[in-house]
Structure 1
Amino acid sequence: MSRLLKIGTRDSALALWQARKVQEELKQHGYPSELVPVKSTGDLILDKPLYELGITGIFTKTLDVALLAGQIDLAVHSLKDVPTALPKGIIQAAVLPRGTIEDVLVRKNTPGNQRHGVVATGSLRRKAQWLRKYPGDRIENLRGNVQTRLQKLEDSAWDGAIFAAAGLERLEIKPEHLEVLDWMLPAPAQGALMVAVREDAPQVFEQVRNLNHLPSELCVGIERYFLRGLEGGCTAPIGALARIKKNEILFTGGVFSLDGRDVSTIEERSLIPEDILTGVGPLEEYSQQVQAYAKILGEQYARTTLEAGGAAIMETLRNALDQ
């Protein structure tokens, strides 16, 4: 019988759902496990926007420490919260099939409420894109887990708040007044779950690797290399979406000024090499090919965005966020 794997997770309802999803997948492959919940700094400090905290990987750092200390065997993350450079000694073992990528507006539960003069979000990406489309609106800061944010919306005078559709779906929360924001670029890797393990634990890596979904790994890899190429952190107002359509990658990405007035966006199509389409060769070698291709495309798209005006926006952003 396989050794009981310890799965590290944040202790919010959504994070626990994600960890249980990984636990169920491992069980199907014959690997028993138990959950080890921890509380991150990002879950403890809720009265400040994320960008003001100045901590890289604020939702992942505690799990990184536990993983490197051997207190857990693997960590489950919402991949959009994970820094593009993993800590030394930690590697990505699997990306699960990606969930819904869109953001949604949850309107105040008031009959006939169709206005949105005051909207809440803790995300600079969502704020910038919202203000670009609705420059006359006011944005209020909103932090906390999904249930906490929904309750804050209900208790406030706001007209609505922005959420990731994937989180609401996973918790089976279906607000009555909901609008899909299909015009809003999602965060890089939004809707994707990633499992990290220690680099010196090859047996755990092989066990977890059974959960990997290569099409999702490719798409989120492109988006994360795009983010890394722009030198933008997880909280920067940067959006990206890579999709596979037949033998092509369809990519949309962009960087926004904090007020949404300035933007540099691109739309690209790239042919997928035949060897990646066919998946010939050992799984690990094939995965390395996928990551190498993701790196090439993500960095290429980042350069195109910077040359199209993104460099000036990024410089302004760095100056503003460093103050």
Structure 2
Amino acid sequence: MKKTIRIGTRDSELALWQANTVKNALEALGHETELVPVKSQGDLVLDKPLYEFGITGIFTKTLDVAMLTDTIDIAVHSMKDVPTALPKGIVEAAVMKRAHTQDILLHKGTDFLNGKGTIATGSLRRQAQWLNRYPQHEVVDLRGNVNTRLKKLEDNNWNGAIFAAAGLERINLKPETYLDLDWMIPAPAQGAMLIVAKEEDAFCRNALAALNHEESEICVHIEREFLRTLEGGCTAPIGALAVIEENELHFKGALFSVDGTKKLDIEKRINVSDSKNFGKLCAEEILQAGGSELMKEIKSKLAQKG
């Protein structure tokens, strides 16, 4: 039976680029597809920091509902936006080959780095890591899709703003001058695209299985396992990166206090064949080294702000 696969996506330029990448890949395999753009609550409300919504998955919930109500068949997400627990009835169908994982700083000159400065980001993880390295700086909230954030940076007197390199590269907006933040640990699954489908939809799941990139899947699952074990459903300043070199997996992860004054980190190497539950084990080490108390402190701080 021939079926047109309806692809749900947010309607930002980056989200549409990602959805079209999946569309083209599926069509190259002989499938018929159709794009269905949907606006998320995270795109509509731009005057509140993300953590104040009090829920994870603010960018993915609208697409989850569209899938469960049969408006779309599959959804394409930036994997770092996807909660570690998917809604009942929705499953991971494919992780596309991962792009650049790094964060970069778009700036108006770097003289400020040794003195006072103002950096914009809507991410608690980026904020905490920036303040850990530059405690004399101020960090202000920056929300919206990539294009909106670039415009806000241009219109304000901030010294710079932090972006994921992959997002800017995908829509050809990465400028010639930027600073590579190679010391900043990215968000778990940063640079990866996830496609989800209904658990019962064997047709779409089979079609998407051909797009799965196994090495990327292994790495992002370890990072997300680390995140899930640490956070317990709370938005927290957590970074994680797993990289496979030959048969060895190199992992680094960290938990920060919101103000960046506290940092608990871990770095380990292991054979890929031994990597089952590795993210969980690394997170448990952090929790035992003071992470449990730090997570309580973070939850309390965010509850007060919310």
TM-score (norm 1): 0.91
Q: Which AA in structure 1 matches 2:291?
A: G
Contact 1:2 1:30 in 2 (8 A): no
**Alpha-carbon distance between aligned partners in 2 of 1:232 and 1:102, rounded to the nearest angstrom:** 25
Offset of 1:234 from its aligned partner? Answer: 7.3
Per-residue deviation, residues 90-144 of structure 1 (Å, max 9, x unmatched): 0000000000000000003xxx553250000000000000000000000011000
**Alpha-carbon distance between aligned partners in 1 of 2:141 and 2:40, rounded to the nearest angstrom:** 19
Which residue in 2 is equivalent to 1:89?
89
Which residue in 1 is equivalent to 2:20?
20
**Alpha-carbon distance between aligned partners in 1 of 2:174 and 2:68, rounded to the nearest angstrom:** 38
- SS of structure 2 residue aligned to 1:211: coil
- SS of structure 1 residue aligned to 2:231: coil
**Alpha-carbon distance between aligned partners in 2 of 1:21 and 1:89, rounded to the nearest angstrom:** 25
**Alpha-carbon distance between aligned partners in 1 of 2:240 and 2:279, rounded to the nearest angstrom:** 10
Identity of aligned residues (%): 57
Per-residue deviation, residues 25-64 of structure 1 (Å, max 9, x unmatched): 1011111201000000000010111001112210000000
Which residue in 1 is equivalent to 2:278?
297
Q: Alpha carbons of 1:123 and 1:153: their partners in 2 closer, same or farther (altered >3 Å)?
A: same
Which residue in 2 is equivalent to 1:114?
111
Q: Which AA in structure 2 matches 1:313?
A: L
Residues 236-251 of structure 1 correspond to what in structure 2 (within 5 A)? 236-251=236-251
Q: Which AA in structure 2 matches 1:185?
A: I
**Alignment equivalent of 1:319, drawn from 283, 300, 304:** 300
**Alpha-carbon distance between aligned partners in 1 of 2:234 and 2:183, rounded to the nearest angstrom:** 20
Which residue in 1 is equivalent to 2:64?
64
Of stretches 98-107 and 243-252 in structure 1, the one that deviates more from structure 2 is 243-252
**Alpha-carbon distance between aligned partners in 1 of 2:8 and 2:27, rounded to the nearest angstrom:** 16
Offset of 1:246 from its aligned partner? Answer: 1.6
Offset of 1:175 from its aligned partner? Answer: 1.8
Offset of 1:304 from its aligned partner? Answer: 1.0
Q: Which AA in structure 1 matches 2:98?
A: R
Which residue in 2 is equivalent to 1:42?
42
Contact 1:124 1:237 in 2 (8 A): yes
Contact 2:153 2:161 in 1 (8 A): yes
**Alpha-carbon distance between aligned partners in 1 of 2:124 and 2:251, rounded to the nearest angstrom:** 21
1:198 aligns with 2:195: no
**Alpha-carbon distance between aligned partners in 1 of 2:131 and 2:164, rounded to the nearest angstrom:** 18
Residues 138-149 of structure 1 correspond to what in structure 2 (within 5 A)? 138-149=138-149
- SS of structure 2 residue aligned to 1:183: coil
Runs of 4+ in structure 1 over 6 Å off: none
TM-score (norm 2): 0.95
Gaps of 5+ in 2: none
**Alpha-carbon distance between aligned partners in 1 of 2:297 and 2:158, rounded to the nearest angstrom:** 29
Offset of 1:236 from its aligned partner? Answer: 1.5
**Alpha-carbon distance between aligned partners in 1 of 2:80 and 2:273, rounded to the nearest angstrom:** 26
Offset of 1:309 from its aligned partner? Answer: 2.1
**Alpha-carbon distance between aligned partners in 1 of 2:163 and 2:271, rounded to the nearest angstrom:** 33
Which residue in 2 is equivalent to 1:55?
55
